[in-house]
Homo-oligomer: A and B are copies of this chain.
Amino acid sequence: MSLPHAILTALLEKPSSGLELTRRFDKSIGFFWSATHQQIYRELGRLETTGLIRALPQAAPVRGQKKEYEVLPAGRTELERWTAAAEEPRPIRDPLLLRLRAAAVVGTAGLDAELRRHLALHRAQLAQYEEIERRDFAPGEEGEGEPLQYAVLRAGIGWESFWVRWLAETVETLPAAPATPSEGPTDPA
């Protein structure tokens, strides 16, 4: 149940139409919670039905014409509740680790190149985040007083650093592994 709350947050920052929300999800919020315009329209409809948001009165309900939404008091209350609620941490869940596990059974052929490709991508993303950090959160700068936004950026940096470190280590040790550990086509012990 995260998308509705992401939308409530974005609408509290500024009342918007579906397409405007989609654009904003492509930028800041989308760094850690992406959504397509189809998802957003569906969720806007539900939030309106349940009385957490409403369409601004001036917008006539004509297809193809902009329709802006704002958060109702019930929506703000719900967002406050969710922000402080107890939720279990998400366990790690990544197909790349699954592929490593599969490689232990069917062989590592081709996986090496994929790991190097991921390493390059994560290094590029890390550099991009660090550039934002230098630009917007340098010590003594203006935006320095936004601890929550900075915390989110540090999470992105920490996340990418983790992958870069792990991939670099793994690429080093992996080529020593056998390329095709088992050969029987269907009948492993």
Contact = CB atoms under 8 A, between A and B. Distances in A.
Interface string A85-106: 1111111111111111111111
Interface in A147-163: 147-152, 154-156, 158-159, 161-163
A109 to B, nearest CB: 6
Interface of A: 2, 5-6, 8-9, 12-14, 29, 31-34, 70-73, 76, 79-80, 82-111, 113-114, 117-118, 121-122, 146-152, 154-156, 158-159, 161-163, 165-166, 169-170, 173-174, 176-177, 185-188
B82 A90 contact: no
Nearest to A187: B70
Contacts of A79: 102, 105-106
B162 A161 contact: yes
B176 A147 contact: yes
A81 to B, nearest CB: 9
Contacts of A97: 32-33, 152, 155
B31 A91 contact: yes
A113 to B, nearest CB: 8
A88 to B, nearest CB: 8
B147 A91 contact: no
Contacts of A2: 95, 98
Contact of A111 (B31, B84, B109, B113): B84
Contacts of A151: 100, 166, 169-170, 173-174
